[in-house]
Amino acid sequence: MGHPPRHDGIAAGTLYGEGSRKLVLAFKHGGRIAMAPMLARLIVARLPALEGEWLAVPVPLHRWRLWSRGFNQAALLAREVARRSGARLVVDGLVRRKRTPMLGGLGRTARARALAGALEVGPRLLGEIKAAQIILVDDVLTSGATTEACVKALKAAGAAKVIIACFARVLDEAEGDKALNETPGALTPGVP
């Protein structure tokens, strides 16, 4: 309550658990990009009624990560979310200026520190973001550090509303001591 969220709500297709983890790994690291429409359908089903015009903006990857992976999973999901929700896709609404380490296995504070100054609104889109209603799309919402950095940049540029839309959301209460990680090989404290 002392630190209210900057975002205007979260729409998650499902909770992050063993089943959704397998889907995310296949999609994100297994190159199964044809899964995007199915995952997006689950996201859109959880979106509130959207009144007025909305922009679908994916969480960006740094260009080196994009080149090595070959695709931005959030952009693929955002394209499908836009198509199904009537929002307009703005792939370059946010840019990742600073290369960040893989965040898997890092705690909330370390993630926030790694993302400091990394994300900003695309310079040529500042006018378009001002007063816009935005659906910020990502595959998994873990600690919220990445989406918090995105929301901060969008709100600083004048966005009126930012709803976070993701396929899976990690809830500490739902997982108890067992924190699953969407990054293969990443170590998470307390997980063998």
pTM: 0.85
Q: Which two tokens stand for residue 67?
A: 């080149």
CATH C-level class of 12-174? alpha beta
Question: Residue 1's pLDDT is what?
Answer: 59
Question: Residue 189's pLDDT is what?
Answer: 37
Question: Residue 2's pLDDT is what?
Answer: 65
Q: Where are the domains of the chain?
A: 12-174
Question: Residue 23's pLDDT is what?
Answer: 97
Question: Residue 39's pLDDT is what?
Answer: 98
Question: Residue 20's pLDDT is what?
Answer: 96
Question: Residue 71's pLDDT is what?
Answer: 92
Rounded-to-integer distance, Cα 22 and Cα 80, Å: 20
Residue-level pLDDT, tens digit, the chain, 192 residues? 567 778 999 999 999 999 999 999 999 999 899 999 999 999 999 999 999 999 999 999 888 888 888 899 999 999 999 999 999 999 999 998 877 767 666 677 787 777 777 789 988 888 899 999 999 999 999 888 889 999 999 999 999 999 999 999 998 754 443 455 555 444 333 333
Cβ atoms of residues 94 and 119 within 8 Å: yes
Rounded-to-integer distance, Cα 141 and Cα 170, Å: 6
